[in-house]
C-alpha cells in the first residue's frame, strides 16, 4: 500500500449517509412480542439454532463452534440435514470445540438448504461460531432460541470496488436465515437487487421448515450500492438471522477483503447509548455504521447532531478516537476493522471484520468469553466501563491496571484495549458495576471480532395497543352460530400511553379458505372496537378470525403469535366446536414428566386431533407441542425439562375434521404451573444483596434487597417442602435499596427460604419463623 495515497484518502474522507428505499412495513414495531413476564436473559442459553454463511469460497480450513460455560454441562450439536450429531461436555475455564463438516456453510443464493445447526445443553452455555479460511476468517456470538424475533433489519457491507467480482456467488453482501420451526413464512424486502434478480424494495416470500436455511446475496457488481444493509426480514414465527459479506473490503476501495459476519439481534434489544473505542493494533481508525429502526431518529456523536435517519437509513463514518454515540430512537451499531492496506505502517494488522457493539443499556457485570483457539497471532478485548468501576474490574481473577484506561469524553465512561492470551477468559466487576466487552484478534491479512457477551433486555418494550376480546365475542365460540346471520366481533383495545390507538382491523376467512378478508373496526364507547362479518360469509362449517391494532408507532395482534396460522374459530350450524373438559394443573413436581388428561367430545363431527402446547414461563415465546392420544381420555405429556422453577405455561387445542378448533385456555392466557423447588435446591447461598430482620421472627419481618442496576427482580418465599407460599415482587426494579414486609405470623412455625433472583443471579437465605 502507498502510505501517501492512504493519507490522502483519510484527509479527503467524508461520512456516508444511505437513504433507504423501503417504507416501514405495516405492523412494524420496535417493541418485543415476547411475554411481558419474560425473565432477563443474555447471550447464554440452553438451545440454539445457528448457521454458517458462505465464506470467500467453499474451500475453508475449518468451521467450528466454541462452547464455554459457567458450570459443568453436557449436550449435543446436530445438523439434521447432514446427519451430523456430536455429544459434548463443557466446564468452566475451558473451551469445548465442536468441529463441523465444511459443507455446513450455505453454498447457494436463494436456495433452501438443510444446514441448520441445532445445539441443546443441560445448562446455559455461550457459543461462538467461527469460519476459518486462510486470509478470510471471522466469527460471531450466537444468540439463544428464546431471544429470537419475527422482525429484523439487516446490517451488512457492500461489495468491494477495487477488484473483479465473478458470478460464483463469492465476494457479495449477504444474509442468511435459519428456521427453528416448521411451516414458517419469511417475507424479505431487499434494499438492493438480489443475486436471484429480486428488485430492491419489493417483498418476496419463502417458506421454511425446521432446520432449513435460506441465504440472500446481492447482485454481482462493483457498484457501491450492492449492499443489503437495511433489508427487512419478517417471519410468522421467530427465526435466526446472520448477516455480513462473503469477503468484504472495508472501506470498499481498500484491500484486502475478508469474511465478515454477525448474528443480528432483535430490534427490541437495540439501544440508544453507545461508547465507541478504537481497535488496538491499528493507526488510522475504524469504520462505524449506525442503522435506524424508526423514522426521525436523531443521531449524535460526542453530543453533535450528525444526521437525522429514517427507517432503514444508516450513517457510516471513520472514528480515530474514543467517542460517545447516542440516538433519539433505537439503532444498531457495528464496528468494522479496516483492510490491511488502510494501515500501511503496521504489519500483521489483519483485515476486515464486523463486530456488534452492545449499547450501554445491555452491559453486564460479569462475562465468560473465549478467543478462537487457533489461527490468530494477536488477541484483544475492549472494555468500556463507568470510570468509577475500574478499580474493581478483574480479568481472570486479577485486578486490571487502571492506568490502561482512557476517559471517553464527558460520558463518565472509560475504555481500554487489553491484550489477552488465546483461550477462555472471565471478566467481572466485584462491585457489580456493569460494563461492555468485545473480543477480536488479528493475523496476517486475517482477523475475527465479536461481542464478548451482552444482556438482551428488551430496551424498547413500548406500549402497543392491548387487545382483549369481550365476553360477547368469546361466547360466539361456545355454541354454533346460525348460517347467513352477520356476526358482530367486539374487542376492548387499550393503550397505556400516547400515542393512543389509531386503527384496528378484523381479519376473517371461511374454514378451508386460504386468504383473509380485512374489515376496518370502528371505535365505540369505553375503548370497545367492533366490526361485522357479513351474513353472506357466515356459512358452515365456520369462520376463522383475528384482530390487529396500531397506534402509529407500535402494533399488536390477538392472538399475539402467528395469528394467521393460529386464529380463533367460530362454528356455524349445523357444525359445533369440540368441547374440552379438563382440570387445570397449577403445581407439579420439579424435573419430572407431567401427564395431563382431557375429555374431548364433538357432537357434529369427528375429533381430528388434540394437541398439548407448553413452554417455560418467561422463556421461549413459541410453544412446544405434543399430540394428546385417545386412551379413554386424551393424554399428553409435558417433558420434565419444561418443569423448572421458572414455572410452566400450557393450553390444550382440539380440532375437528373440518379444521375448526377450540381451546382450553389460550396461547396468550395459558394455564400456569408453578413448579415447587426440590429440597436439594433450597440450600442457603451467600446473599450479599439480600437481608432479613429480625431473623428468626415470630411476627413481621423486613426483607431488604439491593439492586445494582435496573433489572427484572423476583422475591419469593418457599417452605421447607419446596412449596411457594408468597410472591413479594416479580417485576423490573430500579437500581437501589428496596424493602418489603413479610407477615411471618400468618405462617406455621418452621424453616422457610427467601429466594431472590436479580436478572440471572440468584440468592437464597434461610428464614426461621417461631411460635414466640
The per-residue pLDDT for range 331-366, each reduced to its tens digit, is 999 999 998 888 887 766 778 899 999 889 888 888
Question: Among 620, 641, 673, which residue terminates a domain?
Answer: 673
Task: Give me the mean pLDDT over the 619-634 stretch.
Answer: 86
Q: What percent of the residues of the chain are helix, what percent strand, and what percent coil, each to the nearest 5? A: 5, 50, 45
Distances from the Cα of 222 to the Cαs of 39, 169, 191, 618, in angstroms?
46, 13, 16, 46
Predicted confidence band at 33 (pLDDT cuts at 50, 70, 90)? very low
* In 171-211, beta strands by DSSP E: 173-178, 184-189, 204-208
Cα–Cα distance between 429 and 366 in angstroms, integer? 6
- 611 in the same domain as 486: no
- 315 in the same domain as 226: yes
Kindly report, residue by residue over 96-131, the tens digit of the pLDDT: 999 999 999 999 999 999 999 999 998 888 898 988
Beta carbons within 10 angstroms of residue 410's beta carbon: 9
Cα–Cα distance between 493 and 371 in angstroms, integer? 50
Predicted confidence band at 167 (pLDDT cuts at 50, 70, 90)? low
Specify the pLDDT at position 554: 65
Q: List strands edge to edge, sheet with 398-399.
A: 366-370, 424-429, 393-395, 398-399
Specify the pLDDT at position 564: 86
More confident residue, 733 or 244: 244
Kindly report, residue by residue over 646-688, the tens digit of the pLDDT: 789 999 999 999 999 999 999 889 999 976 655 455 566 678 8
209-213, 221-225, 550-554: range with highest mean pLDDT? 209-213
pLDDT exceeds 90 at position 61: no
Share of the chain above pLDDT 70, in %: 93
Question: Among 453, 488, 516, which residue terminates a domain?
Answer: 453
Share of the chain above pLDDT 90, in %: 53
Task: Give me the mean pLDDT over the 143-164 stretch.
Answer: 86
Predicted confidence band at 719 (pLDDT cuts at 50, 70, 90)? confident
Task: Give me the mean pLDDT over the 141-167 stretch.
Answer: 84
Specify the pLDDT at position 35: 37
Specify the pLDDT at position 75: 93
Q: Which residue has the cell 371461511?
A: 510
More confident residue, 685 or 442: 442
Nearest to 650 by CA among 633, 663, 667: 667
Specify the pLDDT at position 685: 67
Cα–Cα distance between 366 and 383 in angstroms, integer? 12
pLDDT exceeds 80 at position 31: no
Predicted confidence band at 37 (pLDDT cuts at 50, 70, 90)? very low
The CATH number of whichever domain residue 693 belongs to comes to 2.60.40.1930
- Range scoring the smallest mean pLDDT among 172-181, 261-270, 403-412, 572-581: 261-270
116-130, 134-148, 363-377: range with highest mean pLDDT? 116-130
- 431 in the same domain as 400: yes
Specify the pLDDT at position 36: 36
Specify the pLDDT at position 459: 46
- 167 in the same domain as 148: yes
Q: Which residues contact 481 (CB under 8 A, 6 or more apart)?
A: 487, 538, 570, 571, 572, 573
Q: Are strands 579-581 and 594-601 parallel, antiparallel or unpaired?
A: antiparallel
- 358 in the same domain as 303: yes
Domain-located, residue 634? yes
Cβ proximity of 611 and 627 under 8 Å: yes
pLDDT exceeds 50 at position 39: no
Task: Give me the mean pLDDT over the 685-702 stretch.
Answer: 88
- 721 in the same domain as 654: no
- Residue 164 sits in which domain range? 3-453
Rounded to the nearest integer, the mean pLDDT of the chain is: 88
The CATH number of whichever domain residue 602 belongs to comes to 2.60.40.10
- 518 in the same domain as 639: no
- 654 in the same domain as 510: no
Cα–Cα distance between 395 and 415 in angstroms, integer? 14
Kindly report, residue by residue over 259-308, the tens digit of the pLDDT: 999 999 988 888 899 999 999 988 899 999 999 998 999 999 999 999 99
Task: Give me the mean pLDDT over the 410-423 stretch.
Answer: 93
Domain-located, residue 460? no
- Range scoring the smallest mean pLDDT among 145-149, 465-469, 496-500, 638-642: 496-500
Tell me which DSSP letter residue 160 carries.
P
Count the domains in the chain: 4
pLDDT exceeds 70 at position 198: yes
- 195 in the same domain as 81: yes
Specify the pLDDT at position 136: 82
Domain-located, residue 461? no
Question: Among 550, 571, 592, which residue terminates a domain?
Answer: 571
Nearest to 544 by CA among 651, 466, 656, 661: 661
Domain-located, residue 274? yes
Nearest to 374 by CA among 62, 664, 641: 62
Specify the pLDDT at position 40: 45
Predicted confidence band at 225 (pLDDT cuts at 50, 70, 90)? confident
The grid coordinates of residue 497 equal 400511553
Domain-located, residue 25? yes
Specify the pLDDT at position 447: 81
Domain-located, residue 459? no
- 389 in the same domain as 510: no
- 488 in the same domain as 430: no
Specify the pLDDT at position 32: 45
- 265 in the same domain as 215: yes
Q: What is the pTM of this model?
A: 0.74
Specify the pLDDT at position 27: 65
Tell me which DSSP letter residue 185 carries.
E
Cα–Cα distance between 461 and 34 in angstroms, integer? 9
Predicted confidence band at 380 (pLDDT cuts at 50, 70, 90)? very high
Amino acid at each position: 500500500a502507498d502510505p501517501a495515497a492512504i493519507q490522502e484518502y483519510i484527509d479527503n474522507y467524508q461520512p456516508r449517509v444511505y437513504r433507504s428505499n423501503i417504507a416501514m412495513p405495516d405492523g412494524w414495531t420496535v417493541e418485543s412480542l415476547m411475554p411481558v413476564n419474560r425473565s432477563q436473559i443474555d447471550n447464554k442459553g440452553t438451545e440454539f439454532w445457528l448457521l454458517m454463511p458462505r465464506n470467500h469460497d467453499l474451500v475453508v480450513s475449518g468451521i467450528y463452534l466454541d462452547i464455554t460455560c459457567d458450570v459443568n454441562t453436557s449436550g449435543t450439536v446436530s445438523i439434521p440435514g447432514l446427519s451430523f450429531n456430536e455429544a459434548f461436555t463443557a466446564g468452566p475455564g475451558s473451551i469445548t470445540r465442536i468441529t463441523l463438516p465444511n459443507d455446513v456453510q450455505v453454498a447457494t443464493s436463494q436456495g433452501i438448504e438443510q444446514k441448520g445447526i441445532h445445539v441443546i445443553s443441560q445448562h446455559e452455555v455461550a457459543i461462538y461460531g467461527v469460519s476459518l479460511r486462510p486470509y478470510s476468517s471471522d466469527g460471531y456470538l450466537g444468540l439463544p432460541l428464546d431471544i429470537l424475533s419475527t422482525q429484523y433489519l439487516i446490517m451488512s457491507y457492500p461489495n468491494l470496488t477495487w477488484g473483479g467480482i465473478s458470478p460464483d456467488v463469492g465476494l457479495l453482501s449477504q444474509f442468511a436465515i435459519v428456521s427453528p420451526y416448521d411451516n414458517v413464512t419469511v417475507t424479505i424486502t431487499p434494499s438492493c437487487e438480489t443475486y436471484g434478480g429480486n428488485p430492491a424494495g419489493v417483498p418476496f416470500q419463502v417458506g421454511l421448515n425446521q432446520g432449513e436455511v435460506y441465504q440472500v446475496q446481492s447482485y454481482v457488481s462493483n457498484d457501491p450500492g450492492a449492499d443489503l444493509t437495511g433489508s427487512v426480514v419478517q417471519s410468522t414465527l421467530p427465526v435466526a438471522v446472520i448477516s455480513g459479506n462473503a469477503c468484504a473490503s472495508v472501506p470498499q476501495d481498500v484491500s484486502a477483503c475478508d469474511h465478515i459476519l454477525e448474528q443480528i439481534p432483535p430490534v427490541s434489544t437495540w439501544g440508544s447509548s453507545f461508547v465507541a473505542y478504537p481497535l488496538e493494533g491499528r493507526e488510522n481508525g475504524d469504520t462505524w455504521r449506525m442503522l435506524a429502526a424508526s423514522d426521525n431518529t436523531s443521531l449524535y456523536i460526542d453530543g453533535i447532531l450528525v444526521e437525522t435517519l429514517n427507517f432503514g437509513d444508516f450513517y457510516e463514518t471513520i472514528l480515530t478516537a474514543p467517542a460517545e454515540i447516542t440516538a433519539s430512537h433505537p439503532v444498531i451499531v457495528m464496528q468494522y476493522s479496516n483492510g490491511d492496506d488502510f494501515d500501511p505502517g503496521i504489519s500483521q494488522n489483519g483485515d476486515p471484520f464486523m463486530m456488534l457493539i452492545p449499547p450501554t443499556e445491555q452491559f453486564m457485570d460479569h462475562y465468560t468469553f473465549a478467543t478462537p483457539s487457533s489461527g490468530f497471532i494477536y488477541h484483544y478485548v475492549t472494555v468500556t466501563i463507568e470510570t468509577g468501576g475500574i478499580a474493581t474490574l478483574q480479568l481472570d481473577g486479577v485486578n486490571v491496571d487502571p492506568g490502561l484506561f482512557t476517559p471517553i469524553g464527558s460520558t463518565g465512561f472509560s475504555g481500554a484495549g487489553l491484550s489477552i492470551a488465546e483461550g477462555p477468559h472471565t471478566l467481572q466487576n466485584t462491585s457489580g458495576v456493569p460494563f461492555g466487552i468485545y473480543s477480536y484478534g488479528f493475523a496476517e491479512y486475517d482477523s475475527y471480532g465479536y461481542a464478548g457477551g451482552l444482556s438482551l433486555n428488551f430496551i424498547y418494550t413500548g406500549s402497543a395497543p392491548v387487545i382483549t376480546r369481550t365476553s360477547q365475542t368469546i361466547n360466539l365460540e361456545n355454541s354454533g352460530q346460525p348460517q347467513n346471520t352477520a356476526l358482530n366481533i367486539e374487542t376492548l383495545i387499550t393503550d397505556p400511553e400516547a400515542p393512543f390507538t389509531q386503527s384496528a382491523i378484523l381479519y376473517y376467512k371461511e374454514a378451508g379458505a386460504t386468504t383473509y378478508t380485512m374489515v376496518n373496526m370502528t371505535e365505540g364507547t369505553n375503548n370497545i372496537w367492533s366490526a361485522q362479518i357479513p351474513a353472506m360469509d357466515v356459512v358452515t362449517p365456520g369462520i376463522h378470525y383475528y384482530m390487529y391494532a396500531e397506534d402509529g408507532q407500535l402494533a399488536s395482534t390477538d392472538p399475539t403469535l402467528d395469528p394467521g396460522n393460529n386464529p380463533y374459530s367460530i362454528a356455524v350450524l349445523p357444525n359445533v366446536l369440540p368441547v374440552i373438559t379438563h382440570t387445570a394443573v397449577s403445581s407439579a413436581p420439579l424435573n419430572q414428566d407431567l401427564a395431563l388428561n382431557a375429555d374431548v367430545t364433538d357432537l357434529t363431527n369427528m375429533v381430528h386431533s388434540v394437541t398439548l402446547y407448553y413452554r417455560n414461563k418467561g422463556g421461549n415465546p413459541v410453544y412446544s407441542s405434543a399430540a394428546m392420544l385417545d386412551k379413554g381420555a386424551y393424554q399428553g405429556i409435558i417433558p420434565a425439562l419444561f418443569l423448572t422453577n421458572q414455572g410452566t405455561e400450557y393450553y390444550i387445542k382440539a380440532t375437528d375434521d373440518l379444521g375448526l378448533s377450540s381451546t382450553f385456555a389460550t396461547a396468550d392466557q395459558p394455564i400456569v404451573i408453578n413448579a415447587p423447588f426440590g429440597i436439594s435446591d433450597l440450600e442457603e447461598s451467600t446473599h450479599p444483596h439480600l437481608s432479613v430482620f429480625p431473623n428468626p421472627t415470630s411476627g413481621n419481618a423486613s426483607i431488604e434487597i439491593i439492586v445494582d442496576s435496573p433489572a427484572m427482580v423476583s422475591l419469593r418465599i418457599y417452605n421447607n417442602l419446596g412449596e411457594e407460599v408468597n410472591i413479594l415482587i416479580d417485576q423490573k426494579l430500579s437500581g437501589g435499596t428496596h424493602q418489603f414486609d413479610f407477615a411471618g405470623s400468618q405462617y406455621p412455625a418452621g424453616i422457610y427460604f427467601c429466594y431472590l433472583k436479580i436478572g440471572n443471579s440468584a440468592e437464597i437465605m434461610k428464614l426461621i419463623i417461631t411460635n414466640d
